[in-house]
A and B are shown apart, each in its own frame.
Chain A
Amino acid sequence: MSCQCAVEDGLQPDPKEIKLGEILAKYKQQKGALIPVLQETQEVYGYLPAEVLRRISFELKIPLSKVYGVVTFYAQFHLNPRGRNIVRVCLGTACHVRGGAKILETIQKELGIEDGQTSEDLRYTLESIACIGACGLAPVIMVNEDTHGRLTPDKLGKILAQYE
């Protein structure tokens, strides 16, 4: 029997691509749609792959250079695959004053990756950000959508281990 992948591919289009089609259809007629399209697309793919950006540029009729201009301007957009768990360490003023830098250092050691990097097994991506708005609990980190506050370096191992 000959290889079936092409046929199967044809029968079952990539669900992510379908989603992308829906997003584009929803925003096509709206002005100022590029950022929401990129945000929703990134939610589907986890990052913004090059071929996806080409399709967005083509369908929204926005030059690819402009699309890249926007993607690289905003901290929220990513051109490379990201970890399953996003660890954000706050280095805002309130957290800085209460030892945020030490928290970052400890996490870097614990995960073996630097600020901005993703672990090889794609389990964690580590980022520093300036203020999550939970300054009353400084120092603070956010893992995915969960905020963890009043931290000390020794609490971190247990928190990080919760996220597979």
Chain B
Amino acid sequence: MNSLMEVCCDKCTHTPTTPCDKYIACRTEGPLCHDDASCKEKVQTRLKQVVIAPESGLKQVLICAGSGCISSGSRKVDAALEAELAKQGLADKVKITVTGCHGFCEQGPIFIVEPEGTFYCRVQPEDVPELVEKALGKGELVDRLLYKEPITGEKVRHYQDIPFYKKQQRNVLRNCGHIDPENMEEYIARDGYKGFVKALTMSPLEVIEDVKKSGLRGRGGAGFSTGQKWEFASKSPGDEKYVVCNADEGDPGAFMDRSVLEGDPHAVIEGMLVAGYAIGANNGVIYVRAEYPLAIKRLKVAIDQASACGVLGDNVLNSGFDFHLKIKAGAGAFVCGEETALMASVEGKRGMPRVRPPFPAVKGLWDKPTNINNVETYANVPAILRRGSEWYAGLGTERSKGTKVFALTGKVNNTGLAEVPMGVTLREIIFDIGGGIQNGKEFKAVQIGGPSGGCLPKEMLDLPVDYDSLIKVGAMVGSGGLVTMDETTCMVDIARFFLNFTQKESCGKCTPCREGTKRMLEILTRITKGQGKAGDIETLERLAKNIQATSLCGLGQTAPNPILTTLKYFRHEYEAHINEKRCPAGACSALLTYRIDSEKCVGCGACAKACPVNCISGELKKPYRIDASQCIKCGTCMDKCKFGAVIKG
């Protein structure tokens, strides 16, 4: 038997056209329809090859092939590993699994040796011979490739002991980085599709009740109760309904949906199957942004595999329930993440939002009742059915249940994906998991929730991260992007940055958003250029309130949030720009001048060589000078100078 997906013998009659309802359980516990010790043994032997047992004496290497690690060169590592194993005669002792994202992209390419869980990072092809000889052949450690704790400098051996992972609780990401996403067998071996099979034993209404009881709320932005949403769609009259998965993930700084799609696509498919069964929909659409080619490819493979064995298609697992799934690739418009715009785009139109109600549950795709959820929302569903709604409701806080994946980026030491129970504090995420701020700098703010969210100052670090606490302080969970900033980030510039984004992405349908974001951006740009005037702050506040109140969709309604929160928590920075023409963070280039400290300059000339506009002159071994009238304030000289002689201010 080369795969758990194969039949054990010709007594098995399961095919997509003659489906068997025990198919999923049969893969790992089978055969179930006949008693045959040799068939049973075949299945168990194969299972042990898929999930390597410690006593087997075999080793497994997990190599990440998520987008992050691929760009760090991981595909060259797995090719080198295969060749090297053959060379050293270890090919049949070591299984190579090319996985999806481990979430710790900073340290990629990641190379994990199982069953002991030794974690090697930033592995390059030239490291492979040593790893094969020592780590795989002799069972020794290759010390130099172990993870080094950034603050203490201590080497950590095991995956689960690395602070970045230790505090996490991985439910949605449980398979990411541990299975081959292009092989359905591996998903099945880890309880895959058991949640859906459980759902089939319940009535659709019972499934909805269960999801309601779990307390799951949407992970795509607004945090609406998923069970309630399903209930609306289920009660909506109509015999043709749709299930849509929102995989547009446009929020810059968030990449959890991408990782789930690339690392565990079957979990999303399973969640959609459950939703389809619950609301009575026979067709599903996954709308993926075109910037994610690998996610699209892996989803295609997963859909093909699920269709080939009858987990998708007509009369799924002999349940009488039909479910067909299609992928639609987005075409590059942020607003298409908004649900009504998304559906317009699937219909082949310009992706413009429309007024709700009617909500998609009543009138959605092709005017039919439609349930639309986010990738992570669907990926939460299988475990809720499999492990029970009480288990899920036991995680998180009173009103925000379960775990949430956050994308930790910016100036933290450990960038990557962190899944934690709702309600942990920002401090725990940024300092315990994220390892604090890079280069020993001071934490200044964290931007949470993307362009719709807000910037929170260090006084808020002990705030529990859940839907309601964040709304109270003007931010939101949003998709879960957490961009940390240090003392060198200017808050006015960050507000300008977000407005520039929302202004460009505004679809132009409603006036407050189309015109209002433009005006706000103009003001912010002026301020960062040192041309702010008295009254600008008040105008911004007035515009912000109007735009919030009168825009058609969430894009406009939330676009002012970054301005309002920075004004609330960092007003002094705006005032410094406007009144003193000074950028306290030293980030706004128009307000800076660069000069060379003649005491410190040793006259090496490195700055002059690096200057892109040749505005630095001098003689070797004598102090150099910057011609301020020519300087474009790019800061290259400052980066290049080893003596700290370039000063900005």
Contacts and interface: CB of A to CB of B under 8 A. Distances in A.
B409 interface: yes
A153 B333 CA distance: 28
Contacts of B330: 76
A148 interface: yes
B635 A75 contact: no
Nearest to A105: B634
A134 B71 contact: yes
A69 B407 CA distance: 35
B308 interface: no
Nearest to B498: A93
Contacts, number: 147
Given A93-B483, A131-B252, A136 B290 contact: no
A36 interface: yes
A97 B483 contact: yes
B350 A135 contact: no
A149 B67 CA distance: 10
Interface in B470-520: 481, 483-485, 489, 494, 497-498, 501, 505, 507
A28 B477 CA distance: 42
B416 A136 contact: yes
A132 interface: yes
B105 A75 contact: no
Best-surrounded residue of B71, B108, B255 (most CB of chain A within 10 A): B71
Contacts of A92: 252-253
B29 interface: no
Given A32-B347, A136-B415, A149 B68 contact: yes
A97 B410 CA distance: 6
B28 interface: no
Interface residues on B, range: 35 or more
A137 B253 contact: no
Contact of B410 (A34, A39, A98, A102): A98
Contacts of B416: 136
A31 interface: yes
B366 A36 contact: no
Contact of B351 (A73, A131, A135, A153): A73
Contacts of A94: 252-253, 409-410, 415, 481, 483
A139 to B, nearest CB: 11
A102 B253 contact: no
A95 B108 CA distance: 18
Best-surrounded residue of A36, A131, A150, A153 (most CB of chain B within 10 A): A131
A31 B347 contact: yes
A25 interface: no
B483 A136 contact: no
A109 B351 CA distance: 35
Contacts of A105: 634
Interface in B618-649: 634-636, 639
Interface of A: 31-36, 38-39, 66, 69-70, 73-77, 92-98, 102, 105-106, 109, 129-138, 140, 145-150, 152-153
15 contacts: A31-B347, A34-B349, A35-B328, A74-B332, A75-B331, A93-B450, A93-B497, A94-B481, A102-B634, A133-B291, A133-B292, A135-B253, A137-B106, A138-B410, A147-B67
Interface of B: 67-68, 70-72, 104-106, 108, 249-255, 258, 290-293, 328-334, 345-352, 366, 407, 409-411, 415-417, 447, 450, 481, 483-485, 489, 494, 497-498, 501, 505, 507, 612, 634-636, 639
